[in-house]
């Protein structure tokens, strides 16, 4: 039986689209992708500037990030199914429209409640964009050039988060924090208009909407509860808090009900939310395990920690922090495209193995050298290998994972971005917990080892200087505060080194999945080798 005309056109889109149109499609898709992912990190550096205008504290302002991630993650699985009804191009245009409108209202928000609502809507817009952008590129590029396409896409996925602190710092220092949202409006409107013109409207449009609302309800509740638990765990004291325990309970129960609902639907031949056949493809399932640990537990941790290192430990401004993160960000962009081109010429698995060793060396031996005494220029040099490694990672992994998916490619892309949100939330929570715990431990250890006679001598030696400007009581307090600050900086310095070192552990865990992928791919070669051995040997 022949496929419907829309599916036939989608399958051979790369033959229909001309090379010139392919360039315009790539530009349009990448602008939307870059804007959506940039907004996940650009907000991080301007949160302190938002607190006063929105009349909230540090813990309240964290919901600006949390609400965005929750909305984007929970909407992804719905959008993946919905995109089959309206097509990938209209899904992308819808996402851009939602994102631009929400950006305008985020910039105009006057209260925390308004900001949370509009950021949630903005996150839904990102889900629409990310659920189909990568699939569009894969469909319009011929199979022999899909590595290049994914390299270009990796430029947005990897380069945009790294560039966020630089752009955010520049806008904050020279304009106003509201402009990180306002700037999306004119660029977004132009991209919506160009997308209407250049994107093929037949892509993925099969006018079918099979959706399991019960399963979606359970997985949405589980995702929301899990992300709230991970984002608020450190603030609430993790499992010393009844609120966190309730979140964990809701997460476990909801995920259990989700799997039960999917199993029931499978047994009774009803629509499942996810086509579970995708996990029977070992290249995809084990690649997602590698993606989860390397991207979420390693790269997200490092990108979360680096701005804190530069600002809180090195004392740089937001814009200076962005400038120091710009060189590795540029390397990410260069090596994303380079790795994509190489993925078309040699096995992506070979590139991944080389990159894994490179990342292991960076996390175990290079990053732990970053401390308070590291000159800023040297810190930039030490982060350059990470930029190379991150740039190389995405394209070969995606090329390898997606190559056998066929009609499941859209689902594979949606699940990959869902995993990105979950992994990133886990990585950020682990980094926060490690940094806080190690800082407190080292600070207490410094106090335990102090020679109190020397401490007293140090405090009173500074009083003579401070008494020239302040009364004795104030000078005494300031002298003690100075000692406290020095001890805190030393504790924080050691804590960063220990936290960076612990990231290497997750590289090793990711290496387990990479090893399994190697075994699976080398198995046929071993069989052929064994069969070629003469029987008399």
- The vertex-232 CA angle with 102 and 98, nearest 5°, equals 10
Quote the pLDDT of residue 1: 44
157/246: higher pLDDT: 246
pLDDT bracket for residue 524 (50, 70, 90)? low
pLDDT over 70 at 429, yes or no: yes
179/462: higher pLDDT: 179
8/193: higher pLDDT: 193
Quote the pLDDT of residue 249: 92
pLDDT bracket for residue 11 (50, 70, 90)? low
5/491: higher pLDDT: 491
Quote the pLDDT of residue 464: 67
| Overall average pLDDT of the 375-394 stretch | 87
Quote the pLDDT of residue 97: 94
pLDDT over 70 at 58, yes or no: no
pLDDT tens-digit readout, 279-331: 888 888 888 889 888 887 888 888 888 888 888 888 887 778 878 888 888 88
DSSP 3-state assignment of 111? coil
| Rounded Cα distance, 443 and 494, in Å | 10
pTM: 0.80
pLDDT over 60 at 529, yes or no: no
Low-confidence winner among 26-30, 378-382, 443-447 (lowest mean pLDDT) = 443-447
pLDDT over 80 at 136, yes or no: yes
| Rounded Cα distance, 457 and 465, in Å | 13
Quote the pLDDT of residue 417: 82
| Overall average pLDDT of the 202-217 stretch | 78
Exposure pattern of 230-254 as b/e (b: 16+ CB <10 Å)? bbbbbebeeeeeeebeebbebbeeb
- Six token digits for residue 216: 């979606």
146 and 94 Cβ atoms separated by less than 8 Å: no
In the chain, % of residues over pLDDT 90: 9
pLDDT over 60 at 6, yes or no: no
pLDDT tens-digit readout, 392-423: 888 888 888 887 777 787 788 888 888 887 88
| Overall average pLDDT of the 181-205 stretch | 87
pLDDT over 50 at 21, yes or no: yes
pLDDT bracket for residue 57 (50, 70, 90)? low
pLDDT over 60 at 263, yes or no: yes
- Six token digits for residue 181: 């949202």
pLDDT winner (highest mean) among 243-252, 265-274, 289-298, 307-316 = 243-252
91 and 83 Cβ atoms separated by less than 8 Å: yes
Quote the pLDDT of residue 408: 80
The DSSP secondary structure of 458-526, one letter per residue, reads: HHHHHHHHHTTTS-HHHHHHHHHHHHHHHHHHHHHHHHHHHHHHHHHHHHHHHHHHHHHHHHHHHHHHH
Please report the domains of the chain, with CATH numbers, ordered by start residue. 1-209 (1.20.1250.20), 300-536 (1.20.1250)
Residue 514 Cα distances to 256, 350, 354, 391, 519, angstroms: 28, 10, 11, 18, 9
pLDDT winner (highest mean) among 185-189, 198-202, 239-243, 408-412 = 185-189
Quote the pLDDT of residue 189: 93
Quote the pLDDT of residue 8: 53
Residue 462 Cα distances to 256, 447, 484, angstroms: 61, 19, 13
Mean pLDDT over all residues of the chain? Answer: 82
71 and 128 Cβ atoms separated by less than 8 Å: no
Quote the pLDDT of residue 81: 80
- Report the candidate in 139, 141, 126 with the shortest Cα–Cα distance to residue 417: 126
Quote the pLDDT of residue 103: 92
Quote the pLDDT of residue 122: 92
pLDDT over 80 at 194, yes or no: yes
Quote the pLDDT of residue 532: 58
pLDDT bracket for residue 537 (50, 70, 90)? very low
pLDDT over 50 at 165, yes or no: yes
Q: Return the half-sphere exposure (C-beta side, CA atoms, 13 A cut-off) of residue 170.
A: 10
Quote the pLDDT of residue 190: 93
| Overall average pLDDT of the 100-116 stretch | 89
């Amino acid at each position: 039986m022949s496929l419907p005309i829309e599916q036939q056109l989608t399958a051979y889109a790369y033959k229909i689209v001309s090379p010139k149109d392919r360039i315009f499609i790539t530009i349009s898709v990448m602008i939307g992708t870059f804007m959506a992912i940039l907004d996940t990190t650009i907000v991080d550096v301007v949160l302190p500037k938002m607190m006063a205008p929105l009349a909230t504290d540090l813990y309240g302002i964290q919901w600006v990030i949390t609400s965005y991630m929750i909305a984007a993650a929970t909407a992804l699985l719905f959008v993946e199914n919905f995109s089959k009804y309206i097509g990938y191009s209209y899904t992308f245009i819808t996402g851009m429209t939602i994102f631009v409108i929400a950006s305008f209202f985020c910039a105009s928000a006057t209260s925390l409640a308004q900001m949370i609502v509009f950021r949630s809507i903005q996150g839904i817009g990102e889900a629409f964009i990310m659920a189909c952008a990568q699939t569009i590129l894969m469909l319009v590029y011929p199979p022999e050039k899909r590595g290049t396409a994914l390299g270009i896409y990796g430029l947005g996925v990897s380069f945009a988060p790294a560039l966020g602190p630089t752009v955010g710092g520049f806008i904050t220092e020279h304009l106003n924090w509201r402009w990180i949202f306002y700037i999306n409006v004119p660029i977004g409107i132009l991209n919506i208009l160009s997308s209407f013109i250049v994107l093929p409207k037949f892509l993925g449009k099969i006018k079918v909407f099979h959706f399991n609302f019960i399963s979606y309800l359970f997985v949405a509740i589980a995702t929301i509860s899990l992300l709230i638990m991970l984002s608020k765990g450190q603030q609430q004291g993790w499992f010393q808090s009844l609120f966190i325990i309730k979140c964990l309970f809701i997460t476990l129960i909801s995920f259990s009900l989700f799997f039960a609902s999917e199993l029931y639907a499978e047994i009774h031949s009803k629509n499942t939310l996810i086509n579970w056949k995708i996990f029977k493809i070992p290249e995809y399932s084990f690649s997602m395990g590698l993606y989860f640990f390397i991207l979420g537990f390693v790269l997200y941790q490092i990108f979360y920690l680096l701005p804190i290192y530069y600002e809180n430990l090195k004392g740089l401004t937001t814009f200076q922090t962005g400038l120091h993160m710009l060189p590795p960000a540029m390397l990410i962009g260069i090596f994303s495209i380079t790795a994509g081109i190489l993925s078309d010429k040699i096995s992506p698995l070979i590139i991944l193995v080389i990159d894994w060793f490179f990342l292991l060396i960076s996390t175990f031996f290079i990053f732990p050298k970053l401390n308070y005494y590291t000159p800023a220029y040297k810190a930039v040099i030490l982060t350059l290998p990470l930029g190379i490694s991150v740039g190389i990672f995405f394209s070969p992994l995606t090329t390898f994972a997606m190559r056998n998916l066929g009609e499941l490619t859209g689902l594979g892309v949606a699940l990959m971005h869902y995993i990105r949100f979950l992994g990133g939330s886990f990585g950020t929570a682990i980094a926060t917990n490690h940094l806080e715990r190690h800082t407190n431990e080292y600070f207490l250890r410094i106090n335990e080892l102090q020679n109190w006679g020397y401490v007293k001598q140090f405090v009173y030696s500074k009083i003579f200087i401070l008494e020239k400007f302040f009364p004795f009581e104030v000078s005494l307090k300031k002298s003690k505060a100075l000692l406290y600050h020095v001890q805190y900086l030393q504790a924080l310095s050691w804590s960063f080194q220990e936290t960076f070192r612990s990231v290497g552990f997750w590289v090793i865990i990711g290496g387990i999945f990479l090893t399994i992928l190697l075994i699976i791919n080398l198995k046929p070669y071993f069989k052929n080798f064994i069969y070629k051995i003469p029987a008399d040997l």
